[in-house]
C-alpha cells in the first residue's frame, strides 16, 4: 500500500531525482553512482525485451546489472530513480531529462568535448531539417534518422516529437539510430528513446575511426562497438520489415544472377556451336 501511495506521489521532477541520487552518494562520488545507475537501468531495459535469454550479451548484462545494484546498495533507490525518469518523460516528452541532469551535476567529460546541445536548439534543428517524411515513407516504407554524436539523445528526441506533432507514426515508420564514443552517454540516449517508444538502436563506438556498417535494418557489430537495441525495434512491425527486406535481397540477388547469365548467352551462338558438333 505504501509503495502504491509513493508511486502516485512521484512528479517526475529533477529535484526528486537529485534528492534520491545524492542519498546514494554518501560513500561514493557522483560519477561512480551515475555510471552504475545508468548501466543498471540500461541493462534492465535491454534484457526485459531480449527474446534470447541464452545469448552472451544477455548474460553479460545480467552480470553487470547485479554488480551495479550491489554497489548502489540495493534495488530500492535505483528503482525510484527509474520511476522518476518514466514519469518525467511521460509528463513532458519534449526535454532531455538525463542530459540536463548530467550537465547540472558537472559530469561532462571535457576531454571528449562533451557539451550537450540545449533541447530548444535541437527542436529548432529538427524543424528545419524535417524534409518530405511522407514521400520518403511512401517510397521506402520507412525512414531512418541518424545522429553520429548522439550524446544523451536530445536531437533524436526532438526529431521524434516533431514527427509526432506532424501526425507521423514514428514508432512504426521511423528508425532512430545514434552513435557515441562514450558508453554511459550512449546508454542515456538508449534509455530516453526507449522510454519514449522509439524504435532503433544505439552504437557505442568512435564514429570517425569505427563507423557502423551494414544495412540500417541489419547493422553489423564490429570490434570496438557495442549495440543497444530499443524495445520497440523488437516489435512485430520491425521484425516483419527485416524479414521482407531479406526476401527482397534474396530476390534481387537471384535476378542479378539471371541477368548475368543472359549477358553470357548474348555472346554465345547456339547455331554455330550446333553446326560444329554435327561436323564432329
pLDDT tens digit sequence for 157-213 = 999 999 998 888 899 999 999 999 999 999 999 999 999 999 999 999 999 999 999
Q: Are 146 and 129 in contact (CB under 8 A)?
A: no
C-alpha cell, 44: 534492465
Predicted pLDDT at 244: 84
For the stretch 235-239, contacts whose Cβ atoms lie closer than 8 Å and that sit 24 or more positions apart, written own/partner, are: 235/171, 235/199, 237/172, 238/175, 238/199
Predicted pLDDT at 167: 85
What domain range is 44 assigned to? 1-92
Report if residue 146 sits inside a domain: no
Report if residue 5 sits inside a domain: yes
Q: End of a domain among 58, 92, 126?
A: 92
Report if residue 40 sits inside a domain: yes
Predicted pLDDT at 264: 46
Q: Report phi then psi at 171, rounded to 5.
A: -65, -35
Largest CA distance in the chain: 99
Return all residues near 113 (Cβ < 8 A) that are at least 6 apart.
none
In whole angstroms, give the CA distance from residue 70 to residue 52.
25
Report if residue 143 sits inside a domain: no
Name the pTM for this structure.
0.85
Report if residue 102 sits inside a domain: no
Report if residue 112 sits inside a domain: no
Report if residue 248 sits inside a domain: yes
Report if residue 225 sits inside a domain: no
Q: How many domains does the chain divide into?
A: 2
Q: End of a domain among 73, 92, 111?
A: 92
| Tens digits of pLDDT across the chain (280 residues) | 455 555 558 899 999 999 999 999 999 999 999 999 999 999 999 999 888 888 899 999 999 999 999 999 999 999 999 999 999 999 999 999 999 999 999 887 655 556 788 999 999 998 888 777 888 888 888 999 999 999 999 999 999 999 998 888 899 999 999 999 999 999 999 999 999 999 999 999 999 999 999 889 999 899 999 999 999 999 999 989 888 878 877 765 665 655 554 544 445 454 554 555 455 4
Strand ranges, E, within the chain: 143-147, 174-180, 199-204, 213-215, 218-220, 226-229
Q: End of a domain among 56, 71, 92?
A: 92
Sequence length of the chain is 280
Beta-bridge mates of residue 174 = 143
Amino acid at each position: 500500500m505504501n509503495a502504491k501511495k509513493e508511486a502516485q506521489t512521484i512528479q517526475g521532477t529533477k529535484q526528486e531525482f537529485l534528492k534520491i541520487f545524492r542519498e546514494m552518494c554518501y560513500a561514493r562520488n557522483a560519477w561512480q553512482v551515475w555510471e552504475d545507475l545508468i548501466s543498471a537501468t540500461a541493462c534492465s531495459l535491454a534484457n526485459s525485451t531480449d527474446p534470447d535469454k541464452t545469448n552472451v550479451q544477455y548474460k553479460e548484462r545480467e552480470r553487470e546489472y547485479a554488480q551495479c545494484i550491489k554497489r548502489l546498495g540495493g534495488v530500492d533507490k535505483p528503482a525510484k530513480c527509474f520511476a522518476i525518469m518514466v514519469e518525467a518523460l511521460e509528463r513532458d516528452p519534449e526535454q532531455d531529462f538525463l542530459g540536463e541532469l548530467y550537465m547540472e551535476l558537472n559530469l561532462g567529460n571535457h576531454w571528449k568535448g562533451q557539451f550537450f546541445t540545449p533541447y530548444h536548439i535541437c527542436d529548432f534543428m529538427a524543424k528545419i531539417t524535417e524534409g518530405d517524411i511522407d514521400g520518403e515513407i511512401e517510397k521506402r516504407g520507412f525512414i531512418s534518422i541518424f545522429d553520429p554524436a548522439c550524446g544523451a539523445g536530445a536531437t533524436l528526441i526532438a526529431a521524434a516529437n516533431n514527427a509526432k506533432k506532424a501526425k507521423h507514426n514514428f514508432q512504426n515508420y521511423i528508425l532512430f539510430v545514434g552513435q557515441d564514443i562514450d558508453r554511459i552517454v550512449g546508454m542515456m540516449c538508449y534509455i530516453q528513446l526507449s522510454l519514449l517508444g522509439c524504435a532503433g538502436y544505439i552504437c557505442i563506438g568512435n564514429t570517425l575511426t569505427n563507423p557502423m556498417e551494414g544495412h540500417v535494418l541489419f547493422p553489423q557489430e564490429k570490434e570496438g562497438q557495442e549495440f543497444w537495441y530499443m524495445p520497440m525495434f523488437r516489435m512485430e512491425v520491425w521484425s516483419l520489415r527485416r524479414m521482407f527486406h531479406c526476401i527482397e535481397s534474396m530476390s534481387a540477388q537471384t535476378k542479378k544472377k539471371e541477368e548475368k547469365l543472359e549477358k553470357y548467352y548474348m555472346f554465345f551462338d547456339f547455331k554455330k556451336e550446333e553446326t560444329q558438333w554435327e561436323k564432329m
